[in-house]
């Protein structure tokens, strides 16, 4: 028999859970403060739902066959599920819809050999029905508030514009655009250099890799490309967005920031941690104004923008900063029955009754344990010290109670 978690899965022990919940609770407070409401979607979805937007490759989905439903998949992200629900269950609601989630997702890591991780935890938002500069700014400012709430002192925003970058690819032959797009998304300079392009176009293609740096520099460079009115509008919106974010100066504008799929239609972004702690991608997101039309019965489009934060990466960055709990929560009370052999049952009943009285006095605010072993008073006190319990209540069969505080165990 196998007595361990399957490859790619892992157990979260109480301290792991306490740290995870510490992050999630602070993010939830921010989401509530901005007027977002939690949504829970199924862990299992139809494969057609998960792959409709082209954001998810079928081989990365952990698939399940159901005799009645057919081919299902464990959700690898939440946006597709929320998009499906929005057009079928929320379509009649007043827009915009502000939604957030806190859930596990599953992905098969096809490029990694061995027991790579398959289950991840994310928290994020989807702003549906909001478009333009104001909606873009709300989501990015909300993201900044989230990182402040968890106490992350230094982080960096990488900001791009998928629609503008995609339109800049129109300068190139149609049969080479997808290859060029993939090479840019993968930052593959050699692949771009080897494309069969005339020298002038090859030079322009390689210049995509130079469209990364300070916002002022990149905005100036791309404005020299001879933009049409639609491209100029996108560039102006991007400039206005950067100005709205001036309170967060650590911004890189990167017009080579692309995904290899046609998922995003406007701004795209990643937030990364400071390099001194081992640089990690803490979250990502962007605008997807065509995605919801794929799930709508009449194909109607609805603008959307959102982001997801990677809880485990946040946890790894915050842990050395001393922000996260260093131990599990302490119990305030240990209730112990005191009885001679003829009164044992009555004393135990009285102990459980008193424990309930303590819990009811401050519902959910304190932890109360009942002593389950017949220890000596000295051993009971020693147990309470080791468990960091603050007080002991000695309960007799007649319901009388004596209490005492517990001194902390000596530490070296």
Binding residues for L-histidine: 77-79, 107, 122, 126, 263-264
Give percent above pLDDT 70 in the chain.
94
* Domain edges within the chain: 14-321, 333-405
Query: In Å, what is the CA distance from 76 to each residue of 103, 115, 129?
Result: 11, 17, 24
At 22, list the tokens: 């510490």
Query: What is the dihedral sign for C-alpha 166, 80, 62, 272?
Result: positive
The model's pLDDT over 236-264, given as tens digits with 9 standing for 90+, comes to 999 999 999 887 768 999 988 876 556 78
Q: How far apart are CA 80 and CA 56, in angstroms?
A: 9
Binding residues: 77-79, 107, 122, 126, 263-264
pLDDT attached to residue 144 = 95
For helices 132-149 and 229-244, the axis angle rounded to 10 degrees is: 30
| Cβ neighbours of residue 228 closer than 8 Å, sequence gap 6 or more | 167
**Average pLDDT over all residues of the chain:** 89
Cα radius of gyration (the chain) = 28
| Cβ neighbours of residue 300 closer than 8 Å, sequence gap 6 or more | 87, 292, 293
Q: Residue 277: which pLDDT band, with cuts at 50, 70 and 90? A: low
The model's pLDDT over 104-157, given as tens digits with 9 standing for 90+, comes to 999 887 655 544 788 999 999 999 999 999 999 999 999 999 999 999 988 999
pLDDT attached to residue 298 = 83
Region 189-216: what's the mean pLDDT? 88
pLDDT attached to residue 140 = 96
165 and 258 Cβ atoms separated by less than 8 Å: yes
Listed in order, strand segments (DSSP E) in 314-356 are 333-338
Name 158's bridge partners.
Answer: 252, 270
Report the CATH number of the 14-321 domain: 3.30.930.10
Region 374-402: what's the mean pLDDT? 94
């Amino acid at each position: 028999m196998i007595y361990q978690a399957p490859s790619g899965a892992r157990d979260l022990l109480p301290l792991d859970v306490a740290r995870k919940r510490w992050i999630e609770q602070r993010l939830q407070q921010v989401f509530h403060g901005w007027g977002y409401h939690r949504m829970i979607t199924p862990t299992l979805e139809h494969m057609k739902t998960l792959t409709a937007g082209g954001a998810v490759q079928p081989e990365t989905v952990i698939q399940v066959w159901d005799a009645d439903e057919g081919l299902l998949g464990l959700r690898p992200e939440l946006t597709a599920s929320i998009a499906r629900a929005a057009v079928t269950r929320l379509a009649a609601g007043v827009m915009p819809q502000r939604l957030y989630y806190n859930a596990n997702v599953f992905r098969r890591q096809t490029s990694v050999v061995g027991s790579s991780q398959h289950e991840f935890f994310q928290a994020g938002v989807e702003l549906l029905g909001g478009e333009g500069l104001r909606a873009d700014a709300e989501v990015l400012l909300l993201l900044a508030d989230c990182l402040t709430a968890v106490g992350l002192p230094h982080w960096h925003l990488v900001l791009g514009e998928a629609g503008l970058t995609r339109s800049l690819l129109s300068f190139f032959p149609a049969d080479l655009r997808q290859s060029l797009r993939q090479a840019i998304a993968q930052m593959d300079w050699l692949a771009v250099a080897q494309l069969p392009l005339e020298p002038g176009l090859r030079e322009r293609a390689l210049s995509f890799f130079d469209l990364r740096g300070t916002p002022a520099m990149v905005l100036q460079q791309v404005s020299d490309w001879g933009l049409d009115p639609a491209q100029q509008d996108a560039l102006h919106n991007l400039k206005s967005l950067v100005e709205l974010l001036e309170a967060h100066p650590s911004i890189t504008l990167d017009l080579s920031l692309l995904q290899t799929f046609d998922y995003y239609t406007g701004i795209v972004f990643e937030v990364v941690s400071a390099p001194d702690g081992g640089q990690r991608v803490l979250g990502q997101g962007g605008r997807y104004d065509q995605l919801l039309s794929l799930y709508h019965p009449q194909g109607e489009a609805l603008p959307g923008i959102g982001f997801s934060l990677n809880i485990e990466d946040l946890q790894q960055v915050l842990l050395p900063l001393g922000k996260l709990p260093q131990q599990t929560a302490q119990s305030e009370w240990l209730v112990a029955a005191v009885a001679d052999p003829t009164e044992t049952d009555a004393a135990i009943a009285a102990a459980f009754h008193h424990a309930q009285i303590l819990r009811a006095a401050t519902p959910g605010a304190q932890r109360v344990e009942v002593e389950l072993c017949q220890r000596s008073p000295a051993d009971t006190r020693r147990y309470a010290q080791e468990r960091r319990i603050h007080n002991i209540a000695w309960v007799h069969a007649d319901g009388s109670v004596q209490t005492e505080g517990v001194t902390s165990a000596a530490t070296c």
